[in-house]
Structure 1
Amino acid sequence: MMEKLTIKTPPDVLSFIGHTLGFWPKESLVCITLNENSIGATLRIDLPRQPGQELPYARTVAHYLTSDTTATSLIFAVYTSAPWQPGQPKPHAGTIAALTGVLAEQGITIRDGLFVGDDTFSPYDGEPGHELALPVSSTQTSAINAEFIYRGSAVQPTDQITLPATREALANAAAVEHHMDTIRSMSAGTATRQARELWAGMLDTASFPSDDDSHALVANLQFPAIRDRLIADIPDLEEPLQSILFAQTDGAPKWSRIEWAQQLLLHAYTRTSPQHAAPVLTTIGYINWWEGRGSKAHQFLQLALDTDPAYRLARLSDQMIGSGIVAGWNMNKHTAYKALPYEMP
């Protein structure tokens, strides 16, 4: 059992958020649910862009937060570049007021809040002034940040993805087409069984596969029925395919295996061509949705649609994420991505 980490200071809170999300948020509301002193779910959502949306926005946020049925209170952080002048309401004060009211109806209290600017942060309910403002850089020296780094975690400056470069597109396309011809010559049952055996071998091996096996994986992902089965095989759960795809299982997924699958798929992407890339990028996007990284999932799905605007799974998945549907695993602290033990003092 991993030793519990205790979050004691505001810099600890911001370090926890950065490492949990994997990036430093921009123009975002981040909420962390609490059950007594134990941390539950972490939610990041874009701040509302238009005035007049405060109440619907607050209800949407509250819907996500109350999915953690053990939550009794929460802490929040507003990340924004909007300036805050003395004597003026804080940016997004109406949103926080609406959220406070909606959560109170659900029996959830707000324990604390932080206002995080580009260079400094301060208590959300405090008055602007240097005596309460701390430099954002102070998060780098927090105890929690040091512990996360020791455990191999890192915080990226943004959540913008950069795809690795592909090479030898024509040769890759020909190799994938050759494997697709082989798959078409088999019965559906045989093709699916062989695809699953290949994929399981990759997921259970600690090294990257040969180029030929990568081409075979890309070829298998071109067939929707095989693709869906391979996606469902990633979390290593013996539950119905639909339950796994929508992250609504009783058992917890194997997150280390899911992360390795993402690395394998990125590796396969570098050995493919634009005409075969959409299923690979869509599957990576789907994994990011499972992990609660909606903005990254959206980016991968958009990249998939750039290569194939008609790719159905990418379009449907992006619509699902855009409508605010959160993967079921992230509604339960026992199944959520990076469900590590933390507590507040």
Structure 2
Amino acid sequence: MNLRERPVSTIRAPRPSELLPVVPHLIGFHPRRSLVVLCLAGTPARCGQVFRFDLPPRRRQPTFVAGVVQRLEHLRPEAVVLVCYDDSPPPRGAVGARPREAIEHADDGLPRRELVDPIVAELGNGPVAVVDALLVRDGRWWSFLCTDSACCPSEGTTILAPDDPLVGRLAAEEVLRGRRILGSREELAASIAGPAELDLTRTLGAFARVGASKDACTPHDATVAALEATFERFLTGRHELDDDEVARICLGLADETARDAILRRQVDDARTWLVLLTELARRTPDAHAAPVCATLAWVAVQSGEGALANVALDRALAADPAHRLARLLRCGLDRQVSAAQLRAVAHQAGSGVPP
């Protein structure tokens, strides 16, 4: 199959050994205890939408299976590859002499089979074909569907190492795009989690000082001008921001007209906007985080960065559960609405964002 790396690169991955190193580059971090669904279409097959779900506790597995199947039947991709990332302890009674085979249960099943098999069975009764269902654990992979020991040995197959040319090429492209693949979703969330305790008092002081000043209600054109000037600095690699600049911009983004003006302009260089907005979110206290995090989430959605959009929305809605843009984006992402459809909905809702 061919996997198209956003925005234009094409990676040929005919086997899971070549496919699996691509997954972290598609979602922005290395998944753990996750089910990743790659949606495929065309001949040769190309990867379209990619979904990641946290693995559920056993008691919630039937609801989880029904939700995944319902979502895929609604989207109707031509085919999917399921990749289950599991790092649970080895099953009891595993053979100690061959630790790589400890992945197997006494009944010859693989861990999480009770979760994956029902999804495969349900999709098999409908229009969505399952190309493969894989288990990834401890740097190796197994197929839930293949029983041929010649291609899928019981001890698993090693995923490509970091020094493999394909993995190196992907890493180099991410560097050129100004993007870094993080170790986990938690690390991604931490990258926009707000000031550390040592910096929080100083940052809160800046927000209080700017908020109490004469220009507390910053006109929207002043907010836009400040953000665009900062953007121009970021384009040249100068990422310095003092606390008052951060406070002035992030308080200004609470003005929806200023925010919408920025959303219209961000298409010029989405990558730089993501870097800038991530830095602003990282330095904004929770009480003021909703506007900048919702803005970051919007740009992330338009750039195909679904994982970043989701963690930004988590923080925005934790700060302000009623924030309109954040609620719109959360609803759209939960229903797998495309970026173009979200723009159209925002436009119809009276936002200044063009459809």
- TM above 0.5: yes
> Sequence identity, in percent?
16
Match of 1:147 among 162, 169, 191: 169
Match of 1:115 among 122, 126, 135: 135
User: How much does 1:36 deviate?
Assistant: 0.9
DSSP 3-state at the match of 2:131: strand
2:111 is equivalent to residue 98 of structure 1: no
With CA pairs under 8 Å and 6+ residues apart, which has the higher RCO, 1 or 2? 1
Query: CA offsets per residue over residues 178-200 of structure 1, 9 Å max, x none?
Result: 56x42637xxxxx3333333323
8 Å Cα contact 1:41/1:330 also seen in 2:
no
**Which residue in the other structure is 1:323 paired with?**
334
Q: Given the superposition, is the C-alpha separation of residues 318 and 54 from structure 1 closer, same or farther in structure 2, using an over 3 Å criterion?
A: same
**What runs of 5+ residues in structure 1 fail to find an aligned partner?**
67-71, 186-190, 237-256, 332-345
Query: CA offsets per residue over residues 244-269 of structure 1, 9 Å max, x none?
Result: xxxxxxxxxxxxx2232222123334
**Which residue in the other structure is 1:182 paired with?**
215
- Alignment root-mean-square deviation, CA: 3.5
**Which residue in the other structure is 1:188 paired with?**
none
DSSP 3-state at the match of 2:125: helix
Q: Given the superposition, is the C-alpha separation of residues 157 and 183 from structure 1 closer, same or farther in structure 2, using an over 3 Å criterion?
A: closer
**What runs of 5+ residues in structure 2 fail to find an aligned partner?**
1-6, 92-103, 343-355
8 Å Cα contact 2:139/2:158 also seen in 1:
yes
2:231 is equivalent to residue 194 of structure 1: no
User: How much does 1:329 deviate?
Assistant: 5.2
Q: Distance in 2 between matches of 1:63 and 1:204?
A: 42
**Which residue in the other structure is 1:156 paired with?**
182
Q: Distance in 2 between matches of 1:323 and 1:232?
A: 24
**Which residue in the other structure is 1:21 paired with?**
27
DSSP 3-state at the match of 1:44: strand
Q: Given the superposition, is the C-alpha separation of residues 292 and 271 from structure 1 closer, same or farther in structure 2, using an over 3 Å criterion?
A: closer
User: How much does 1:73 deviate?
Assistant: 4.0
**Which residue in the other structure is 1:228 paired with?**
260
**Residue type of the alignment partner of 1:280:** V
2:251 is equivalent to residue 219 of structure 1: yes
Q: Distance in 2 between matches of 1:33 and 1:40?
A: 5
**Which residue in the other structure is 2:289 paired with?**
277
2:47 is equivalent to residue 40 of structure 1: yes
8 Å Cα contact 2:134/2:144 also seen in 1:
yes
User: How much does 1:157 deviate?
Assistant: 2.5
Q: Distance in 2 between matches of 1:2 and 1:31?
A: 18
User: How much does 1:60 deviate?
Assistant: 0.8
User: How much does 1:98 deviate?
Assistant: 1.2
Aligned length: 295
